[in-house]
Amino acid sequence: MPREGVDNLLSELKECSEVQNYSTKNLKKLADNCRNRIIEVISQTGGHLASSLGSVELTVALAKVFNFKKDKIIWDVGHQTYTYKLLTGRNDQFEFIGKKRGIAKFLSRKESKYDHFGAGHASTSISAALGINVGKTLNHQNFKTIAVIGDGSMTGGVAFEALNHAGHLDENIVVILNDNDMSIDSAVGALSKTILNISSSKTFNLLRAEFIKQHRDGKFPLAIKNTLQRVNESFMTFFTKGIWFEKLNFRYFGQVEGHDIKKLVSLLKVVKNVDGPVLLHVITRKGKGFPEAEKNAARFHGIGPFNPKTGVVAKSITTGKSYTSVWSDTFYPIIKKDNKVVAISAAMIANTGLSKMQNEFPDRVFDVGIAESHAVIFAGGLATQKIKPFIVIYSTFLQRAIDSIVHDIALQNLPVKFILDRAGFVGADGATHHGMLDLTYLRMIPNMVIMVPKNGIELQSMIKLAYEYNDGPIAIRFPRGNTETYLDLEKETAPEISFGKGELINQGKDILILAVGTMVKRAQQVAEELQKEGLSVGLINARFVKPLDDKLILKMIKKSSCIVTLEENARIGGFGSAVMELLSANNLFKPIATFGIPDQFFGHATPEEQIKAAGLDTKSLFNKIKVFYLKNNIT
């Protein structure tokens, strides 16, 4: 055990198992050290602050009660895991979180032996923990399995499916509900505390276990068993929020103050030794210990660099306007003018630019929680009633709803509008958050229309087109980051874009470059460099990935010696594949090179570093396209 007078226990910590020997005083000191370390680093690097500050004491208490080297802690998402990273050997690397060759913002099995299951998207922890626990049984091993799930993740349907299955299997699994969006009512709180003390007492649990055994052995009549069960359920219903979990065969313990280490340790010791599935309901506060984050947890959920004393966020050096803001500002007059228009998001109202509209139109801007499939089917139902639903979701999260898009929207050809934010590379959030698959998974779906803007003005035009399109589902994907090209729609009108029509930027006879979205600007730069080499380069901004502008593309292909496609999407099955299919369908045999994101996952770095790693930077493309041209003996 470290000396009580040591100021920074975190810096002295060599192994996480040392925490098991800490006194309550040292546990509190360690929690303070972790909180200060998180604020110190994230104020410089940016990252997920509020949620991780809220889970500091819980994580320290887990390290005290459980053996991290043996027991498996399975976290939901990664927002709440910064203390866990600090305690499991990553304190020295913490300054490099989210940076190339640094540690990830989320959990990764590649990064640490303590990361037992990857955590980037939400609602997965209970399912994974149950699988690990069943695997433990099949392998004849002995350890405890603990799933820590945030309350937001409990809105995801897969969490309920996992609870139902875990209760059915009657597995020895501990689920900790890290509830950071509730307060305990003071009057009920005192009663709840009493109930918690009783239900967690050793005597009560021994008697309960003996009663269950006696009933299973047939020594208690069914009538007595049913009566006692009804008394227990009435008790739980009146004094706690746990009856729903009890119905799923989980022993419910809660609610407990999540920033009181002594109470947490005491209760975790109890649930550690309870047989069967257990749910511990812990009340925490996002941003705990940093006043500005406590006042505005949403703002400090994912934050850039800030002043650690005042909470003032450092001004960005970037120019232009974010694509999200362009979308939001363009959509606002549409929803304001047409009361048949609605917006739907999945726990991302603020990040998708819908906060202001939700306040102004609360009956037409819906946050369905972390439930993308429900969002899509809900939109389908609205569409059958002549409502115009816009689903606004990050590209990476919409992946969870593919079947719903296919079966419930496209099959019925319902006019639902899909707005995919954060398409392409997203930077520090890394592999779990890149939107690199949407062109591929949407393109395969019949009746789907896909548009990709090259800049803010095209996005504004496409939003208008999507609003007016009623012949089936339509999607727009745009990147994270800024655009310097957009219109003030209070003074100007976005130009019309004809349905299914691309834009011919250059004509050329040697190389034809076909590009979409962010790659159009890069294609222009590459074309300029190739032209300096004496090559005649044509360029088309496709705009539409589905349907392609067949007429324009075929006309220009016939005039060109070879073809190149560029996209910030998985090369397999994306825009380039669509162009190759067009060539095949028309019996055209021309050399073609498709450039997109290679068939691999890319880790955290800056977007520019990720683009370069994928070989999509201007210099790499210039060299590869030139070599491609020369290899085909085209002169």
Count of alpha carbons within 13 angstroms of residue 514, beta-carbon side: 30
State the DSSP H helix or E strand holding residue 294, giving kind and residue range, or none if neither. helix 291-295
Identified catalytic residue from 29, 72, 105, 286: 286
Burial of 216 from C-beta contacts in 10 A (0-12 / 13-18 / 19+) = exposed
How far is 367 from 181, CA to CA, in rounded Å?
A: 15
Tokens representing 602?
């890319």
Where does 431-507 show beta strands of DSSP type E?
449-451, 474-479, 482-483, 503-506
Give long-range contacts, CB 8 A cutoff, 24+ apart: 361-367: 361/335, 361/336, 364/335, 364/339, 365/335, 366/342
Contact 68, 121 (CB under 8 A): no
How far is 412 from 410, CA to CA, in rounded Å?
A: 5
Identified catalytic residue from 111, 246, 292, 372: 372
Where does 383-520 show beta strands of DSSP type E?
388-394, 417-423, 449-451, 474-479, 482-483, 503-506, 511-515
How far is 552 from 503, CA to CA, in rounded Å?
A: 9
Q: Is 286 a catalytic residue?
A: yes
Neighbours of 121 (CB within 10 A): 22
CA 264 to chain centre: 29
The DSSP bridge partners found for residue 514 are 540, 565
Contact 176, 146 (CB under 8 A): yes
Q: Regarding beta strands 341-345 and 388-394, do their DSSP bridges make them parallel or antiparallel, or are they unpaired? A: parallel
How far is 172 from 565, CA to CA, in rounded Å?
A: 53
Tokens representing 208?
């309960």
Catalytic (active-site) positions: 286, 372, 400
